[in-house]
Amino acid sequence: MTGLLEGVRVLDLTNVLAGPYCCYQLALLGADVVKVESPGGGDLARQLGAAPELNRAAMGASFLAQNAGKRSVVLDLKTEEGRGRFLKLVAGADALVENFRPGVMARLGLSYEALRAVRPDLVYCAISGFGQTGPLAGNPAYDQIVQGLSGLMAITGTPETAPLRVGYPACDTLGGLFGAFAVVSALIRRMRTGEGAFLDVSLLESTLSAMGWPVSNYLTAGVEPRPMGNENVTAAPSGTFRTADGPLNIAANKQEQFEALCAVIGRPELASDPRFAEREARKRNREALRALIEEALAAAPAAEWEARLNGAGVPAGRVLGLPAALAEPQVQGRGITTRFEDVPGLDRPLTVVRGGFLVDGEAPRPLRPPPRLGEHQQEILEDGE
């Protein structure tokens, strides 16, 4: 497959997750992503992950997750020599992504304006917790801090357990996706007009944007969202239900789906019960409805109900752990993972996850494994490639 961004070079000055994830999406699309790392360890994620031996080898599992397809060079941007070599890279780059705190690049003498003097049409993407302006701009920001400040934690969990952190770095990941989207959009404008761009990506704003429904309910209807656990605020029965052997998600959000659900579980009379006959009544009586549905679901395992309900047009799916999710035939059949048998710096094969879409029926995949620190120093800096 021809990479959609083939011929585009991106300088990746980022660390840990939001920025590296942004640049990983660009690498999957075919961009030549050059990871510019600092001496003395490089990306902090090289030391993070569940395998201590990989952390010691500066190839931590957290780093491996979003750095395949990239090349690595080491430059000390605090030195005149390092900055000089970096500016040569900028002259040949199309885009640059960094996730330092606001002001760091300027203090190094490498502000957007300084880099524009070298590459006038540069697309410069700065990813930070709160953006480049505002009273919080200078604050340090980790994913959990943004989860709390965005209101995301406040609506996660049940009324008894909220606030709860979402179980993975959701805000970092959203910021990375927004960053990649912005970079590609700016590159399209540059093709049309020759203009570069300064992209100011905020994790807090990315998260609020992605929380569209609860934000809209508050801004438009004045209804403050509240934690509802596994229940769907817009419909019932829509949530997680007990079966004979484990939990099952059911989303009977439409009237015809609810009626089909009642028929499949052998309780057709529920569809005409005044407590449940129409949408708003079901929402008011969701707990009573849940008890009756779970009583019927106790007769069979989750997988059997999943097949029967989907066959009747009712969205349903088992609640799986990650190993089971990755082993699902649907996931396996779409080729979500790429395996590298021989990875420099690793004592084992490596499997990484690609992006979430296909292009013309083919999966965009990283062409090389994650790089060792400074692995491509000679070919990029000394050979001038």
pLDDT value, residue 383: 66
pLDDT confidence tier of residue 94, bands split at 50, 70 and 90: very high
With a cut of 80, say whether residue 290 has pLDDT above it. yes
pLDDT attached to residue 357:
93
Looking at residue 1, what is its pLDDT? 62
pLDDT value for 345: 87
pLDDT exceeding 90 applies to what percent of the chain? 97
Is residue 339 very low, low, confident or very high in pLDDT (cuts 50, 70, 90)? Answer: very high
Higher local confidence (pLDDT), 91 or 1: 91
Please provide residue 380's backbone torsions phi and psi, each rounded to the nearest 5 degrees. -90, -45
Q: What is the mean pLDDT of residues 196-214?
A: 97
Return the HEC string of the chain: CCCCCCCCEEEECCCCCHHHHHHHHHHHCCCEEEEEECCCCCCHHHHCCCCHHHHHCCCCHHHHHCCCCEEEEECCCCCHHHHHHHHHHHHCCCEEEECCCCCHHHHCCCCHHHHHCCCCCCEEEEEECCCCCCCCCCCCCCHHHHHHHCCCHHHCCCCCCCCCCCCCCHHHHHHHHHHHHHHHHHHHHHHHHCCCEEEEEEHHHHHHHHCHHHHHHHHHHCCCCCCCCCCCCCCCCEEEEECCCCEEEEECCCHHHHHHHHHHCCCHHHHHCCCCCCHHHHHHCHHHHHHHHHHHHCCCCHHHHHHHHHHCCCCEEECCCHHHHHHCHHHHHHCCEEEECCCCCCCCCEEEECCCCCECCECCCCCCCCCCCCCCHHHHHHCCC
What are the structural domains of the chain? 9-210+333-382 (3.40.50.10540), 238-242+247-318 (3.30.1540.10)
Q: Looking at residue 330, what is its pLDDT?
A: 95
Residue 385 predicted with pLDDT over 60: no
* Active-site residue flag, 342: no
Q: Which tens digits make up the pLDDT trace of 113-144?
A: 999 999 999 999 999 999 999 999 999 999 99
In tens, the pLDDT along 238-289 reads 999 999 999 999 999 999 999 999 999 999 999 999 999 999 999 999 999 9
Compute the average pLDDT of residues 42-50: 96
Candidate list 94, 172, 200, 245, residue with the active-site label? 172
pLDDT band at 382 (very low <50, low <70, confident <90, very high): confident
Average pLDDT over residues 87-97: 97
User: Above pLDDT 70, what percent of the chain?
Assistant: 99
Average model confidence (pLDDT) across the chain: 96
pTM for the full predicted model? 0.94
